[in-house]
Each structure stands twice: as C-alpha cells, then as structure tokens.
Structure 1
C-alpha cells in the first residue's frame, strides 16, 4: 500500500512540474473560442500547447511552445477536421520535411525546410495522388530543374528555373521541353533567358527562325542558332 501511495505521489509530482507552473488562456470572439494556449504562470510566456479554431469549433492549427519559442510538430486541419498539413519547428523556425494533404486525405505537396526557408525538391500531387509537378527550391524560390505531369502521370514539360535577387518566383531559363500527354512525343522546344522564352523547334516544322530581336539575342551563339542558319 505504501509503495502504491509513493508511486501515485510520484506521478502527481511529475505532472505538477508542468501543469502547476502553467495556466490555460482562452480567447473568445462573439462567445466563440478562437484560441486556446498555455503560458507560464509567473511570466505569461507561452509554454505548452497552442490551438486556433475554425468557426465550426474544429481545431484549425495546433503546435507547441517551449519557453516562448515554437518547437516540435505543427498540425494544420481542414474545416471538417481532416489533416491539412504536418510541419516541424525548431527554435521558432521551420526545419525538416513537411507534407500537405487534400481534404480527401491524399498527399497534396511535400517538401523540406532548412532554417525556415524551402530548400530542395518540392513536389505537388493531384487529388488522386498522381504526381503533378516537382521543382527545385532555394531560399523559398524556384531555382533549378523542374518537371510537370498531366493527370495521367505522363511528363508534359521539363526545364529549369533561375532566380534573380528580389524576385519571389523563379524564372524559366535554358531549354524547355514540351510533350504530348497522350503520345508522349516531343511537341516543342523553347530557349529561355530569365523568363523570356522563344520557340526554337516544333513538331512537324523543325527548327524555327527567331521572330524578334530579343529572341535573336537569346539565340545568338547557341547550337539552335547554327541549326537555323544551316536550314536557310
């Protein structure tokens, strides 16, 4: 009996180390709970769970604070309560793999955070789970190879992005290849320079002549320009 009493007291003490030093704060708007989180009793610094709620009362966001800094798993939920996303936090910054989900439960997007910015391959999926697109990310911007797929899973476009300081989106750069989603044949080739693209080859037509001064400048000195001149 004494051993059981000691055990229960030990469990109570362990729980109290956490709960007895924190309190729950509930935020309401028009009688509806919109936020609920834990803070340290003495300092009011956030420490413990943090939840935001949808209008229907279901949890919208759930993560954990550790002495004022976000840390650990973050969960995002659709309004119907189904999981919308899983992300990892470390010392207040996103770090590691993340996954977003369609309301039906299939994966919508997967990627990786490094020191709070997306880095590496970012892949998106159709609602049935078929791969839609993969692009290389650096500092939250597309930079590097990309591939795009039709809903039947066939590759329809591939190429590469570059980024210019200050731009929020990557710019197509280099050769771009476009394919037919049914026959899988190459339909067209384009050469791009920091977002400006020129068609250089089309199925049934072969190599094309530059039709603008910008395209002529982009093509100058390339293999495709030599092919065009050779066909004249």
Structure 2
C-alpha cells in the first residue's frame, strides 16, 4: 500500500492583517504577516546584500514547520523542523560550501551511533539546572542550563572531536539573540540572530 501525503500552503492577507516588514540594525530585513501582533504564516528575512537569511512559517508567533537558514553567500547553512516554537526531529548544519558538518536530533547534537551520557538534575519529571552530555569518546557534546524542563540560558555544543560547534542563548526552550556556528576546525562559519 502506498500513502501519498499532500500539503498545500494557502497564504492570504486580510485587509486588517497587512503584510509586515521591518529592518533590524540596517543589516537584516524581515517580512511576513502579523495577526493580533503575532507573527503568522510564511516569513522571510534577508541580509543587506539581498540573500535570504532565513525562511519559514510561524503559528501564533512561534516558529512552526520546516525552516531554512542561509549563509551570506546564499548557500544553505541549516535546516530542520519546529513544532510550536521548539526544534524537533533532525536538524542539519552545513558549511559555506554546502557540505554537511553535523546533524542533531530533537535538541541533542551528535552523530548516528555513539553512546551519549548526560549528567544533571531532575526535579519532578523535568530537567533543571546545569546539564552536560558527553560523546562515547569522552569529549563534551553539549552543556547548558534547564529551567522548568526547557533549555534556558547560555548553551555550547561541540563536534565529536571536542571543538566548539555552536554557542548561543535559549529562553524558555527557544533560541534567542545571536548564535555562532563553527566548523570542525573551530572557524566561525555563521552568525545568526533570532
């Protein structure tokens, strides 16, 4: 038996919900729809040079569905899915030439196969405080804090070789502010703003 899934996006902008556009610090320009002051539907942000920075949909002000992020040269930098503002499934991160650097699944950064160990506190059934995870080779995979079971505060993720892969801040389980992504040699390859 073969299943065929069909998805259709229908975007409309009623007169009382106009298309919205804003430029941030003269570097990034974003446009999309606001409904009751919340981002809704397809949004796209571009660099000053006109290349796409990120694109995807919002649902009630939170990222939802498939999202793509790009380097300033227009090459895909990262892609994955959000479910009501939280990353879900497999996320891929690429270098400026389009080569896959690493993948992570449901917030845990890693590769297929290695055993991962984590240490931290659980209050009730929720992660709290500082958590650190390690690859099977003993190198750190990630470290950061949880509040109410959601990532919160400054986080760092590492490549399997121990080199910093990404760093940035979470607030209530969502990436906020400036995030830096590094290749396996530790060179900064992307900065993105959420």
Separation in 2, partners of 1:123, 1:193: 16
Q: Any stretches of 5+ residues in structure 2 without a counterpart?
A: 1-12, 121-126, 144-194
Separation in 2, partners of 1:124, 1:116: 19
Q: Any stretches of 5+ residues in structure 1 without a counterpart?
A: 1-16, 20-39, 41-46, 149-156, 177-188, 196-232
Cα contact 1:146–1:161 (8 A) shared by 2: no
Cα contact 2:20–2:34 (8 A) shared by 1: yes
Mapping 1:1-232, distance limit 5 Å? 18-19=14-15, 40=16, 47-53=17-23, 60-137=29-106, 142-143=107-108, 146-147=110-111, 160=116, 162=118, 164=120, 165-166=127-128, 171-173=132-134, 175-176=135-136, 189-190=137-138
Partner secondary structure for residue 122 of structure 1: strand
Cα contact 1:54–1:79 (8 A) shared by 2: no
Seen in structure 2, the aligned counterparts of structure 1 residues 161 and 167 have a Cα distance that, compared at 3 Å, is: farther
Give the alignment's Cα RMSD to 1 decimal. 3.5
Seen in structure 2, the aligned counterparts of structure 1 residues 90 and 55 have a Cα distance that, compared at 3 Å, is: closer
Name segments (4+ residues, structure 1) moved above 6 Å. 191-195
TM-score by length of 1: 0.45
Separation in 2, partners of 1:124, 1:193: 15
**What do residues 16-62 of structure 1 show as CA deviations (whole Å, max 9, x unaligned)?**
x955xxxxxxxxxxxxxxxxxxxx4xxxxxx2111112565x86111
Separation in 2, partners of 1:84, 1:48: 22
Cα contact 2:110–2:141 (8 A) shared by 1: no
Separation in 2, partners of 1:120, 1:82: 27
Separation in 2, partners of 1:160, 1:102: 30
Which structure features the higher share of helix residues?
Answer: 1
Cα contact 1:59–1:81 (8 A) shared by 2: no
How many residue pairs were aligned? 125
Larger relative CO (CA 8 A, sep 6+): 1 or 2? 2
Which structure features the higher share of strand residues?
Answer: 2
Separation in 2, partners of 1:78, 1:193: 31
- What is the CA distance between 1:127 and its match in structure 2? 0.6
Is the radius of gyration larger for structure 1 or structure 2? Answer: 1
